Amino acid sequence: MTEDYEVEFVEREEREARFVVRGITPAFANGIRRAMIADVPTFSVDTVRVVENSSVMFDEQISLRLGLVPLTTPVDEFEIGDEVTLSIDVSGPNTAYSGDIVTSDDLVQPADDNVPIIELKDDQRLEAEADAVLDRGREHAKHQGGVAVGYRHLQRVEVVGDKEEFAKEEPEILRGVIEDDGELVATETFDNDLTNRYPGKEVEVHDIPNAFVFHVETDGSFSVDELVTAAIDSLHGRATELKEAVQL
């Protein structure tokens, strides 16, 4: 990268964030998005050994549900293909939750404790052992760390004059984040309709070149910060690999 780029947060929480990146090309922005979805590995249950399952669901259905439960994944602690054994043992009448999963490694445990796995009636029981595997989103969607990751152009709003007296009152719907006098404003603050912000004004909206607003959510495997940095590291790693491979 020869040009400078800058990052500015609009919203920042553990599992959800919105930030503006300036000075990157559309191709690079898309590269980051794709890396966040497909290249950042997370742990997910892959093999289940059922000891007893007298619930109303088949073993396969229970296994699918276990596979979809997000597991915390410390970045750089494990390698792709590493396995961690988990187990669950719940007897009815009770509901088996993701929080009932017992882990053999405290670094890898369910990110949420209250996802219902299966409701058990009297005399029903679920006992199973499962292997969680670290893999990438491109292998299976259950390994995706980023959820609903996307970006939009940052847009600039310009007031060009007043509306004509009997002009049609049409809504001017915008979504995402706009830049107004150098200030970043989320469109939700004016109900996504520019006419609420500038009543009776004629406005023009332009895309700002090479400025993108990313919206990133994670499934709880790691924080947004870890996801974004891991995605960029993976891009960087592949770029270096390519550079070395084509050197004479």
Partner 1 sequence: MMVPVRCFTCGSVVGKHWEEFKARAREGDEDPDAVLNELGVERHCCRRMLVSHEDLVDVVSPYQ
CB of 131 to partner 1, least distance (A): 18
CB of 222 to partner 1, least distance (A): 14
Burial class (CB in 10 A: 0-12, 13-18, 19+), 209: exposed
> Toward partner 1, which CB reaches closer, 15 or 156?
15
> Toward partner 1, which CB reaches closer, 69 or 157?
69
> Toward partner 1, which CB reaches closer, 5 or 58?
58
Report the alpha-carbon angle 133-134-136, nearest 5. 125
Site of tokens 């940095």:
229
Which residues of the chain form contacts with partner 1 (CB under 8 A)? Answer: 54, 56-57, 61, 65, 68-70, 98, 111-112, 114-119, 121, 124, 141, 144, 147-148, 217, 219-220
Of the candidates 53, 122, 112, the one whose C-alpha atom is nearest the C-alpha of residue 88 is: 53
Q: Which helix (H) or strand (E) holds 212?
A: strand 201-218
Of the candidates 33, 48, 44, the one whose C-alpha atom is nearest the C-alpha of residue 146 is: 33
> Toward partner 1, which CB reaches closer, 24 or 73?
73
Check: CB of residue 43 under 8 Å from CB of residue 83. no
CB of 55 to partner 1, least distance (A): 8
The alpha carbon of residue 141 and the mean position of all alpha carbons in its chain are separated, in whole angstroms, by: 12
CB of 178 to partner 1, least distance (A): 19
CB of 99 to partner 1, least distance (A): 10
> Toward partner 1, which CB reaches closer, 117 or 154?
117
Give phi and psi for 17, each to the nearest 5.
-150, 155
Q: Which helix (H) or strand (E) holds 37?
A: helix 26-38
> Toward partner 1, which CB reaches closer, 68 or 235?
68
Check: CB of residue 41 under 8 Å from CB of residue 136. yes
CB of 118 to partner 1, least distance (A): 6
